[in-house]
Copies of this chain bind each other. A is one copy, B any other.
């Protein structure tokens, strides 16, 4: 019964599929990546996609295996002068301060409230972790999502005076859409908090929540007045960075990607893991070379350090995007 239904469905669908094929031909005549400058980087992308989608070709990959993974910070949106999730956390400390008068005399909060970046830097990683834990736990997942949504609506980036979720890269938006139009399933695989990223990933990138892989804290199921809630605890469950990225891919996606894009040494193992699979692979790195339109940083940067992965990518012929030269536009126009 099921089988015969499927067959008749297929018969009906062959007409739409034929039309779709005609559409594809029509679409091929417009440039799907207008913000990418013509040249070897752009060609590396389009050649790869053409190759793996050519039915019957030597490098053909069936649609269900067309998994593309993107780091987020520095790959899909900016990450300077601080990771945007840290900017969120610092704003939260300020918002929560009236309920915590003791913070005026306690580091790292004192420095945050005084806008003292040197004092904050002196608090080191321990201080940052304390800020992240405090601002990302002690509420339900629904409450947290509402806080993130509110922040995205109201906060403005200090340099560009735009909402943070507008500082996404226009060329990457085009690339995501282009990959999906070619049967790829696009995922974020990022060190950022998975629930934080889900606050904007669907709207900003068209990536649904179930295709966002990130770092996660432990959540605890509770009944509050008979209503089930998940409470965010300060304990970390999984860090999706560096060697954690292949583990995250294995655990969440369960298939090795054929396409991976990163921008820092924290992406190196994800790029290696993707590259090591059989058949055609695309490995891309965003090199931040554009101090005018965005930022220029690599080997010496505390944020998004790109050193070992740049050497490996150069040696292995991975596709390295020179932001200044390869991207005609960086951000989409203001809304």
Q: How large is the interface on A (under 10, 10 to 19, 20 to 34, 35 or more residues)?
A: 35 or more
- Say yes or no: A209-B34 contact (C-beta < 8 A), given A15-B16, A228-B276: no
Chain B nearest CB from A27 CB (Å) reads 6
Residue A19 contacts which of B16, B251, B272 (CB distance < 8 angstroms)?
B16
A255 and B5 contacting across the interface, CB-CB below 8 Å:
no
CB of A284 within 8 A of chain B?
no
CB of A237 within 8 A of chain B?
yes
Which residues of chain B are near A244, meaning CB under 8 Å? 221
Which residues of chain B are near A198, meaning CB under 8 Å? 254
Q: A157-178, CB under 8 A of B: which get 1 and which 0?
A: 0000000000000000110010
Q: A242-255, CB under 8 A of B: which get 1 and which 0?
A: 01101100111111
Number of this chain's copies in the complex:
2
CB of A195 within 8 A of chain B?
yes
- Say yes or no: A27-B9 contact (C-beta < 8 A), given A238-B237, A251-B194, A276-B227: yes
Name which residue of chain B comes closest to A254, CB basis: B209
B1 and A216 contacting across the interface, CB-CB below 8 Å:
no
Chain B nearest CB from A51 CB (Å) reads 22
Q: Which of A27, A194, A254 has the most CB of B within 10 A?
A: A254
- Say yes or no: A237-B221 contact (C-beta < 8 A), given A1-B31, A5-B27: no
Which residues of chain B are near A276, meaning CB under 8 Å? 227-228
Q: How far is the CA of A26 from the CA of B219 in the complex (A)?
A: 46
Which residues of chain B are near A209, meaning CB under 8 Å? 253-255
Chain B nearest CB from A117 CB (Å) reads 33
Q: How far is the CA of A215 from the CA of B19 in the complex (A)?
A: 43
CB of A212 within 8 A of chain B?
yes
Write 17 A-B pairs (CB below 8 A) sorted by A numbering.
Answer: A1-B30, A2-B32, A2-B173, A2-B174, A2-B177, A4-B30, A12-B22, A13-B23, A209-B255, A210-B211, A216-B251, A219-B250, A220-B243, A221-B243, A223-B272, A237-B251, A252-B252
